[in-house]
Amino acid sequence: MCVPMAVAAVALAAASTGIQAISSMQAAKQQGRAINAQNEQRQKEIDRASTAETNDRLREARREQARIAVAAGEAGLSLSSGSVAAMLMDSAMQAELANDRSLANRESRKAASAAEAQARMPARLTPLGAGLQIAMAAGRAYAANSGPPTAPSN
């Protein structure tokens, strides 16, 4: 084949591979953005659920402390008596421990969500990788089109 045909084949192969590399890089970037947006939404959901859980526990602790105070009052005990104060402090401590567990679970769920999002990220083509793909495509095209010249047939 003649040299101009080989050069044209090399140019065409390089151009088409370059376009494929660029579109692949853009698609990976868009997919990464979508995964990041989804992860941000998941993080917000985790925060909302944790906040709701904490608020529910605090409301329940206040109800329990009110029941303790009412029961102590009905029994004629002072709220400052040792046993009533100990029960009130125990109730507050249990609520605080439950909230601490909830916060630890929230952080664990957020870390798991971030790790899952990272695992779903597509492999990105680097500019060096794109250049190598273009060079390889051009080399293959040149090798396929630069064989010995053939004699024209009559």
12 in a structural domain: yes
pLDDT, residue 56, reads 94
High-pLDDT (> 90) share of the chain, %: 45
> Residue 55 is part of which domain span?
3-120+127-145
How many Cβ atoms from other residues are within 10 Å of residue 147's Cβ? 9
Read off the pLDDT of each residue in 83-108 and give the average, rounded to a whole number. Answer: 92
Q: Is residue 151 part of a domain?
A: no
Q: With respect to residue 58, please indicate whether it lies within any of the assigned structural domains.
A: yes
Asked if residue 150 belongs to a domain, the reply is no
105 touches 30 (CB < 8 A):
no
C-alpha span between 116 and 43 (Å, rounded): 12
**Is the model's pLDDT at 12 over the cut of 90?**
no
Query: Is 154 a domain residue?
Result: no
Q: Check: CB of residue 28 under 8 Å from CB of residue 124.
A: yes
SS3 category, 123 = coil
Query: Total structural domains in the chain?
Result: 1
Asked, for residue 104, whether it belongs to a domain, the answer is yes
Per the domain annotation, does 57 fall within a domain?
A: yes
Extract the tokens encoding 72.
């102590």
Q: What is the pTM of this model?
A: 0.64
> pLDDT tens-digit profile of 61-75?
999 999 999 999 888
Tens-digit pLDDT profile for residues 21-66: 888 888 888 988 999 999 999 999 999 999 999 999 999 999 999 9
Evaluate whether residue 101 is within a structural domain: yes
